Amino acid sequence: STVSPYMLGLINRRGKVMWVLDLSQMLGLKCMEFIPRNYSALVIKVGTFLSALAVHQIDGISRIDKNTIGMVPNYISATLVPYLEGCVLQDKSVSLVLDIEAIAHSSLLQLNP
C-alpha cells in the first residue's frame, strides 16, 4: 500500500512519532514547498489520531467562543468547505475556523492499496 500524497513525512515530537500533513494541499490550496525544518506545524489530536499539520505560517492563537462562529461564506472553495466549522469576524477581518475532526477523519488520508 502507498501513503496519502498529503503526508510529507514523519516527525518525533516529545517522544511521539506522527505524520506531517500538507494542510494546504489537502484543502485544495497551494502545495507547500517542503524543506525539512522550514515550515510551521500545528499538532492535532482527535481520539487516537495524532498528527502535525504543516502550515505556511502561524500568526497567533485566538480563543473563539463557539457561539460567535458564523456560516462559511459562499465564496469559499468547495474543496475547503468540508474542513471548516465556519468563520468569525476578528479585528475587522474574517477568519476561517478549521474543523479538526473533519481533517482527522478525512478519506483523503486513507492508505491506498
Q: What pLDDT does 46 receive?
A: 92
What digits encode the pLDDT tens for the residues 53-97? 988 888 888 889 999 999 998 998 888 999 999 999 888 888 899
Domain that holds residue 13: 7-109
Q: What pLDDT does 113 receive?
A: 47
| pLDDT band (50, 70, 90) for residue 6 | confident
Lowest average pLDDT, out of 11-20, 34-43, 93-102, goes to: 34-43
CA distances from 106 to 5, 21, 30 (A): 13, 12, 19
Q: What percent of the chain has pLDDT over 90?
A: 30
Kindly state whether residue 22 falls inside one of the protein's structural domains: yes
Kindly state whether residue 2 falls inside one of the protein's structural domains: no
Q: How far apart are CA 16 and CA 5, in angstroms?
A: 22
Number of domains comprising the chain: 1
Kindly state whether residue 37 falls inside one of the protein's structural domains: yes
Kindly state whether residue 1 falls inside one of the protein's structural domains: no
| pLDDT band (50, 70, 90) for residue 39 | confident
How is residue 102 written as a grid cell? 473533519
Which residue is it, cell 492508505?
111
